[in-house]
Amino acid sequence: MDRKLRREIAEYAGPKFGLYYESGGRDYSRAADSIVQSAGSFSEATVLFSFCVSGDGWDEHAATDERWKRYRRWRAANNEERRLYEAPGHRFEPRDVDPFSKTIEFALELGWDALVAAKPGRQLLFLSHDDRLEIYRGFAGGMLVRQLTGLGYWRRAGR
């Protein structure tokens, strides 16, 4: 799946939209909800973890990090005990709006590199550990940009 999504990104010269956000100890739930809502009526959605500066949440450092603890508890409550490196994909059906949003919230909070895709329409965006979001296709493009910048801690790339 990772290769397939990366091939799709490679089809584009660059993202249609790029945004930066101010990371830190904040509530990312409204941003995550906006991203999920911008996917519209999806038939399937995926969040695919690929990298995080602090690892995948299962090392010695992360054992005491409260954010990673919350993520591991949430993941276990959703019947996934494997390490994030072993099972990096999070797949969602239309009834899974809340878990889809929560996964994106964790990705923003923990600083993941992650691909986010939704069908129909080959919707695709990239979350980066360096506080960046790139929209390649779909996700209501400009509308999502306006919603996120309206939160006050997001800005368009180059501005």
The boundaries of the domain holding residue 68 are 2-156
Number of domains in the chain: 1
42-51, pLDDT tens digit by residue?
999 999 999 9
The overall longest dimension of the chain from CA atoms, in Å, is 42
Average the pLDDT over 91-105 and give the result. Answer: 98
Higher pLDDT, residue 14 or 20: 20
Whole-angstrom distance, CA of residue 88 vs CA of residue 82 = 9
Give, as one character, the DSSP assignment of residue 85: T
Specify the pLDDT at position 63: 80
